[in-house]
Each structure stands twice: as C-alpha cells, then as structure tokens.
Amino acid sequence: MSNSGRFAHRVWAATLLALSLITVGTTAHAAPPQNLPIDPVGYRIVDDTMDISNPLPGDGLSDDVGYSRTDSSNGSARSPRSIIGPDDRTSVTDTRFAPYRRTGEITFSFGTPAQTATCTGWLISPSTVVTAGHCLTDGTDLSSHITFTPARNGTQTGPYGTYRASTVWFDSKYGAPGRDWGVIELDGPAGNDVGWYGLEPVTAADLVGQPARIIGYPTDQAPGTMWQDNAPIVRQTDRTLRYTTDTYSGQSGASVTITDEDTANAIHNGGGLANSGTILTAELFNTLARLRS
C-alpha cells in the first residue's frame, strides 16, 4: 500500500473521528429481516489471490444488528468539499470534497491470461469498501490483485493513496436476483482521511420517482476520472431498483444515494433500457453493518 494517503492527524481531528465512530449504528429502530435471504462467503487475500481453500463462513451475518442505519463521516483530511438518451453525466473536477472522496476506483485482474479491469467502490467505515459482486466474481472465475484508490482524479495513486484488499466477501449464490453485492476489507484505514457513507435499508418505501444519484469511474471517459449523474427511479422490486441515471462500464459497484447524499440505499450493478441497482434489503444491510471494520 502506498503511504501517500496517510496524513498526520491532529488531536482535534482524532477527537472528531473518535466521536463519529462512537455514534455509528446508534439509531434506536432495528432493521428486522425481510425474508429476502443472501448467502455471504468470504476469502482472505493471500499473495494477491483469494484463498478459496479456506472460506470464511457467513453464518449469522444477516441477522438483525439492532439498528436501522449507520452514520456517515467526512474523515479528518481538510477539504479544498449505460447511456439512456442524451448523456447527462458531469465530471467531478475536484474529488477531494465530500461526498466524492468516499468513492474510489477499484482495479483487479481476472482470467488466463490475466486481464485488468476496473469498477467503482465506496467506503462504509475506515477500512471497508462496498462494490458489486461481479467485480469480485462472475460465478466461476475470481478476481485477483484487487486495489482501491479513493478519490482518484486521473492520476495513478490519487490524493489519498492506494490500498490493497485483505479480505473479500460476496454472495455464494451470485447470479440470483439481488445477489450482486461485494465487500472489500482494506489493508489500511483509508476512511480515517476521506470518511465514509452511511447505510440505510429500503424496507417498505416506494421510491419510484425519487432521484438516484451515482458517482463513479466510467471507462468511456479519460482513465481514472470521476463522473456523476442524478435521474429518477422508474421501477422498484423487493430486491432491485431501475433508474434513468446515466452510467457506463466501470461504474459498477457505485453507491446509489436517494434522499441523502451521505447515505447509500443501493449498489449500482448494471445497464440496459434502464440502469439497475441492488437494494440494501434488511438482510444485506445487516451483513454490511457487521462487516464494517
């Protein structure tokens, strides 16, 4: 891991960070399971490869954590703050502002011979990144050499450095509806500098007509540049959202924020006549909340 993203923390900044960590997950109302099961499985990364011979069991990860949202953080670093019809995306010219700096570019290799690809990920704690499951597995092949560069803005390292994956989680039944989610645990606390998103499940609300905001790294633009768009949700099922927000390959795994730019409600994972995202059901929310580190 590059050390360029680690800053000396002043006492006041450390105090603010400690307070934000204490308040994570203190909301009174719980998120009971919705009977929409998922099947988490994890692997430690050894020599940049998933250790598939020693899977980490996901038993109990989806059980009710006792609260219905987690809080966001702006971190301690000082701020300087598929195409559907016409392309409405705009570039993010300074990624060092929140909420942009909580998002980063994921690079990984797959296949034989190895090919390099990119996705988008976003922090939910100092060392935990959420992305799409298909950025980690296609159901048969597994990704390797996984890195995360928060707030990358056209440079190789980005303003806060680059981190390596130490553990990954995804759904052992990847490919089934609502199972396209993934988690990467990093080898360092990137979020201490850049902050992280809060989480809130979608348990009953009708979100059709609400705006879906997506920030990420599309591969049809200059390498490593961040773009965003915001457009209405047009369809909702118990596990997925469909929206007209413009995205492109490389933005898979981006957060979908709806009513609060600091709080994610879904994970962007695909395109078509309308783009789509995996809803944070109660089970998925509980799993992500337990995996934060």
Burial of 264 (0-12, 13-18, 19+ CB in 10 A): buried
Please state the three-class secondary structure of 1-20 as a single string.
CCHHHCCCCCHHHHHHHHHH
Strands (E), 47-140: 49-50, 56-57, 90-91, 103-110, 115-125, 128-131
Residue appearing with tokens 């109660």: 282
> What's the CA dihedral at 103, 286, 42, 17 to 10 degrees?
50
- pLDDT for 175 equals 86
Tell me the two tokens of residue 277: 């995202």
Label residue 20 by pLDDT band (50, 70, 90): very low
pLDDT tens string 220-261? 999 999 999 999 999 999 999 999 999 989 999 999 999 999
CA distance 179 to 256: 16
pLDDT tens string 207-230? 999 999 999 999 999 999 999 999
Average pLDDT, the chain: 87
Could you tell me which residues are beta bridge partners of residue 147?
A: 107, 164
- The contacts of residue 246 (CB under 8 Å, 6+ apart) are 82, 83, 84, 87, 88, 89, 229, 231, 275
- Gyration radius of the chain over CA positions: 17
Give the residue numbers marked as catalytic. Answer: 134, 252
- pLDDT for 218 equals 95
Q: What is the pTM of this model?
A: 0.87
